[in-house]
Chains A and B, each alone.
Chain A
Amino acid sequence: MIKLIVRRFIELLISTFLIATATFFLISAVPGDALSAQTDKLPAATRAQVYKNTGLNKPVMERYVITMNNMLHGQFGESIADPSVTMSSLIRDRLPASARLGIQQMLLGIPLGLLLGILAAVYKNTWIDRAVTILALFLMSFPSLVLGLLLQSYFGGKLGWFPIIGWPSGDQLWWGGWIYTILPTIAGGIGYIAGYARLLKNSMVDVASSEYVMTARAKGLSEPQIVLHHIVRNAFIPIITSLPVTLAFGITGSIFIESIFVIPGIGQYFVTALTNRDVPIIMGETVLLAILYIVTMFITDLLYTVVDPRIKLYDN
């Protein structure tokens, strides 16, 4: 087991390094750079000075070496657009809000989705099944941005039941200020219902036609017992595989929701960094996502063995 973890860790480091390198050169290949928008209206001499001050006037390879060197020391550098922002300040200041929002959205949407999925599978081909399918389709095609705006405008603006904008801060950052989180959670959480409902339903239908289920029926077990002990547990494997990855991407922020509700999260920052060619932030964000993804994949593999003892992690 230890050997496995160590091996995976080394793979993580190598993958991250390769991803960072690829990201760096890809960004450098795209026309324009982090300062062109800012310095556009400056006279040539001033612009040259700004580039000199930030080191962006150096050739690509030299910048690559500097960037990689800093990265290996855990530093991604300051954002070019706003030098007071670094990757660590972003993670410290803005990741909590996105993480909490993401987790709440998942806690709302996924259980609901799973429940609906079970219902649809158990009552397959009845009106319940069709209702769930239609609901899933409808929810999938409803963009979270539009839902967020509607909720904000109606429940926040017209009725005044909820704050229009804002997010708890200070010591309320994780466990307080619930009222600010309600609308954004609903706006983004609904999106999970459809996906997980369909996923579980299809998986359960597959499992329901397998041999051990027929055996269980033949043995005389009651339907609820069959569903819960045998079908659901086995049908959960695909759910287990997608949960960790959903979590990884969920906590890194939903840009639209954050922007509508003025939530000081990390998602918006990443998108702006891309359009601004803010290399340090893009590098940091890519590496962060890569690490999260690889780690969650590993956890997924481990969870597999828990859910299905037949699956073993191979070590060669």
Chain B
Amino acid sequence: MKKSHWLTALITGVALATLLVGCGSKGSASSSSAQTLNLTEELDPTTLDVNDMRNTNENDILSEVQEGLTTIESKNGKDKVVLTGAKSYTKSADGLTYTFKLRDAKWSDGKKVTAQQYVDSFRRLLKKENAFSQATGAYFIKGAEAYNTGKGSAEDLGVKALNAKTLQVQLAYAHPSLLSDFASVIYYPVRLDKINKVGNKKWKTDVKDQVFNGPFKLTSWKKNDKITLKKNNTYWNAKKVKLQTVTYTTTNKASTVLSLMQSGQLDALSASGKQISDFNKLAKSNKLVSRKQDGSGTTVLIMNQHNGGTQGLFKNTKVREAVSLSINRQSYNKAVNDGKDQPTYTMVPQSMNVGSTNYGEYVGNPLKDLQAQYNTKAKRQALLKEGLKELGKSTDLSKLNFVYLTVDDDDTGTWLKQELDQQLGVKVTIKTAPDVPSFVKSRNDNQYDLLDNGWSGSADPNSYLSLWDSNNGFQQFFGGYNSKTFDDLDAKLNANLSTKERLALYKQLETQLVAKDFGVVPLTNSQSRLYINKSVKNLQSTVFGATFNYTYASKE
């Protein structure tokens, strides 16, 4: 008897409780309009250490709670570099010395921002023992490479504080995108007094030890859960900052994000390809506005030129040419991104501007023109056979088997298999590694012919092109392209050239890479789809900055 009553009572109790609680409080109402911006991120940042920045998540948050010499804003849909931490600058005639005058600015604990803190930051970034992943990006600074590889000293590093408010930077070679690069969080000033108190390890993740000189400060960080920012009243331009609170919720589940946006608990999002159709439907309901934003990424198809791949074929230019010309990037874009990104025929994003000239317009599309010439399967197969003959291999195409290595169950492989079968008549095998470490091992052991990869550079075409230098540290995952012609051309860019001379070189380099040597097959340039709550004003997005710039955004 007792047991039955006990069970019944329990069940009734749970049911009642559910009803009461469920109907009692009305759930969470949509965020009050009190200047709070709610965002999401797919992954938690791994660090708050500006010099150690690795991914978008860190960049997004750090670029709003800290500040460096410059920031990238958006004007009329184009990137504009704005002086923020710096008030003004001068550049020497040979383009190798920049002198910055700092603005009067304070940290959140009241201390002043000084030139020495910038010097400390550069030294810390490049210190060999710190092994920060972005350090190589600073090699354009005099003495940087030597110091970072342990062959030089911190004193020989070309960064000096001439006085408390003047910073001098000396370059190893001309670097036209310097101002835009300095907007990256890795060059932001640091407070050694704070870091040395707790040590590098704790500094990475401990919120309470941090100080902030940006428009916001990070007040709470619940791992894999939620991050909260509050307006920083010591920011030099705090008057113009309207938002009081910004929150980031960590979730990578598309449907969770959709539910949040539906109920008004998420204000803005950069959607991935698969999410677009759902969000477009939501946008029609008139609560959201959507816009496109050109991105800084180029996705490419890589051919193994380290050892030519599993059958040694990709060492031959004609083989690579045949494969490259068989690729239809429009069909790739549709199959893999639901048409979200921009198909491209060049390594450098077409939207890149060099001075007042548009890169795409100037350089043109040599690969596209070539592809128009080889517009039938028969022509491409003939080309492939010529390559095979040059290698001394059989021209029986049915014997060929290209291995495409990937780590996920990804659409690229499926598309590639079909594409090369239809357009070239060659078989592709998809090899899926169970996880990233295994993938890395298989790739380093050259157990592939084809890979896909992407690269996000900075506002200088050479940040995309120098990747293909034979001695570039990233060769391992970009196929091992090796061309003396390319290397020599690229070396010329180190001189202090005029914009016109640079453009001419870029054109030669691009043509050499994609349309003469076929070292890589460019597929698409990233293009985000942004969905923003109608009540949010002045939420900016840029090509080379963070996902969103909400410093001067507000809510109605």
Which residues of A approach B to under 8 Å, CB–CB? 30-34, 36-47, 49-50, 53, 81-85, 93, 107-108, 111-112, 114-115, 149, 152-153, 156-158, 160-167, 169, 178-179, 182, 224, 228, 232, 259-262, 264, 268-269, 275-277
Neighbour of B11 across the interface among A30, A85, A111, CB < 8 A: A111
Q: Is the CB of A32 within 8 A of B437?
A: yes
Q: Is the CB of A157 within 8 A of B435?
A: no
The residue of chain A having its C-beta at the shortest distance from the C-beta of B264 within the complex is A160
Q: Give min CB distance, A144 to chain B, whole Å.
A: 14
Q: Is the CB of A44 within 8 A of B473?
A: yes
Give me 24 A-to-B residue pairs in the complex whose CB atoms sit less than 8 angstroms apart, sorted by A's number: A30-B437, A32-B438, A37-B436, A41-B474, A45-B128, A46-B135, A47-B131, A82-B46, A82-B205, A84-B202, A84-B205, A114-B7, A115-B11, A152-B255, A161-B23, A161-B27, A163-B28, A165-B249, A179-B22, A260-B255, A261-B256, A262-B224, A264-B223, A276-B437
Q: Does B411 contact A (CB under 8 A)?
A: no
Neighbour of B441 across the interface among A31, A34, A164, CB < 8 A: A31
Q: Please give, as numbers and ranges, the residues of chain B lying within 8 Å of A42 by CB-CB distance.
A: 131, 133, 473
Known contacts A156-B263, A165-B249, A262-B256, A84 near B436 by CB under 8 Å: no
Neighbour of B263 across the interface among A43, A164, A264, A275, CB < 8 A: A164
Q: Does B250 contact A (CB under 8 A)?
A: yes
A269 and B225 CA atoms in complex are apart in Å by 12
Q: Please give, as numbers and ranges, the residues of chain A lying within 8 Å of B27 by CB-CB distance.
A: 156, 160-163, 179
A194 and B457 CA atoms in complex are apart in Å by 54
Q: Interface size on B (CB < 8 Å)?
A: 62
Q: Does B21 contact A (CB under 8 A)?
A: yes
Q: Is the CB of B251 within 8 A of A32?
A: no
A184 and B256 CA atoms in complex are apart in Å by 13
Known contacts A42-B133, A161-B27, A165-B256, A31 near B225 by CB under 8 Å: no
Q: Give min CB distance, A297 to chain B, whole Å.
A: 25
Neighbour of B4 across the interface among A112, A228, A260, CB < 8 A: A228
Q: Please give, as numbers and ranges, the residues of chain A lying within 8 Å of B436 by CB-CB distance.
A: 32, 36-37, 40, 275-276
Q: Is the CB of A107 within 8 A of B260?
A: no
A-B pairs with the 5 shortest C-beta distances? A32-B437, A43-B473, A157-B259, A49-B131, A84-B205
Q: Is the CB of B250 within 8 A of A262?
A: yes
Q: Of residues 243 to 259 in B, which have CB atoms within 8 Å of A's CB atoms? A: 249-253, 255-256, 258-259
Neighbour of B253 across the interface among A44, A182, A260, A264, CB < 8 A: A260
Q: Is the CB of B4 within 8 A of A31?
A: no
Neighbour of B133 across the interface among A34, A46, A165, A178, CB < 8 A: A46
Neighbour of A179 across the interface among B25, B132, B136, CB < 8 A: B25
A162 and B206 CA atoms in complex are apart in Å by 32
Q: Please give, as numbers and ranges, the residues of chain B lying within 8 Å of A259 by CB-CB distance.
A: 251-253
In addition to A163-B27, A169-B222, A264-B223, 20 A-B residue pairs with Cβ atoms within 8 Å of each other are A31-B437, A33-B437, A36-B437, A47-B131, A49-B131, A82-B205, A149-B253, A152-B256, A157-B260, A165-B249, A167-B225, A178-B21, A224-B1, A228-B1, A228-B3, A262-B224, A262-B250, A262-B251, A262-B256, A275-B436
Q: Give min CB distance, B393 to chain A, whole Å.
A: 30
Q: Is the CB of A41 within 8 A of B477?
A: yes
Q: Please give, as numbers and ranges, the residues of chain B lying within 8 Å of A152 by CB-CB distance.
A: 255-256, 259
Neighbour of A264 across the interface among B11, B222, B473, CB < 8 A: B222
Q: Is the CB of B440 within 8 A of A32?
A: yes
Q: Does B204 contact A (CB under 8 A)?
A: yes
Interface centre among B27, B128, B135, B204 (most CB of A within 10 A): B27
Q: Of residues 147 to 189 in B, which have CB atoms within 8 Å of A's CB atoms? A: 148-149
Q: Does B304 contact A (CB under 8 A)?
A: no
Contact with A along B119-155 (1 / 0, CB 8 A): 0000000001101110110000000000011000000
Known contacts A46-B136, A165-B251, A228-B4, A81 near B256 by CB under 8 Å: no
A130 and B223 CA atoms in complex are apart in Å by 47
A163 and B263 CA atoms in complex are apart in Å by 10
Q: Please give, as numbers and ranges, the residues of chain A lying within 8 Å of B222 by CB-CB distance.
A: 169, 264
The majority secondary structure among interface residues of chain A is: helix
Q: Does B284 contact A (CB under 8 A)?
A: no
Q: Please give, as numbers and ranges, the residues of chain A lying within 8 Å of B136 by CB-CB distance.
A: 43, 46
Q: Please give, as numbers and ranges, the residues of chain B lying within 8 Å of A269 by CB-CB distance.
A: 224
Q: Is the CB of A232 within 8 A of B201?
A: no
Neighbour of A262 across the interface among B8, B23, B225, CB < 8 A: B225
Q: Please give, as numbers and ranges, the residues of chain A lying within 8 Å of B482 by CB-CB distance.
A: none
Q: Please give, as numbers and ranges, the residues of chain B lying within 8 Å of A153 by CB-CB distance.
A: 255, 258-259
Neighbour of B440 across the interface among A40, A82, A228, CB < 8 A: A40
A107 and B10 CA atoms in complex are apart in Å by 9
Q: Give min CB distance, B28 to chain A, whole Å.
A: 5
Q: Is the CB of A46 within 8 A of B249?
A: no
Q: Is the CB of A157 within 8 A of B440?
A: no
Neighbour of A164 across the interface among B14, B201, B265, B477, CB < 8 A: B265
The residue of chain B having its C-beta at the shortest distance from the C-beta of A153 within the complex is B259
Q: Please give, as numbers and ranges, the residues of chain B lying within 8 Å of A114 by CB-CB distance.
A: 7
Q: Is the CB of B256 within 8 A of A164?
A: yes
Q: Does B26 contact A (CB under 8 A)?
A: yes
Q: Please give, as numbers and ranges, the residues of chain B lying within 8 Å of A47 by CB-CB distance.
A: 131
Interface centre among B23, B224, B258 (most CB of A within 10 A): B224
Known contacts A81-B46, A164-B265, A232-B3, A111 near B22 by CB under 8 Å: no
Q: Does B18 contact A (CB under 8 A)?
A: yes
Q: Please give, as numbers and ranges, the residues of chain A lying within 8 Å of B148 by CB-CB distance.
A: 45-46
Interface centre among B18, B23, B437 (most CB of A within 10 A): B437
Q: Does B463 contact A (CB under 8 A)?
A: no
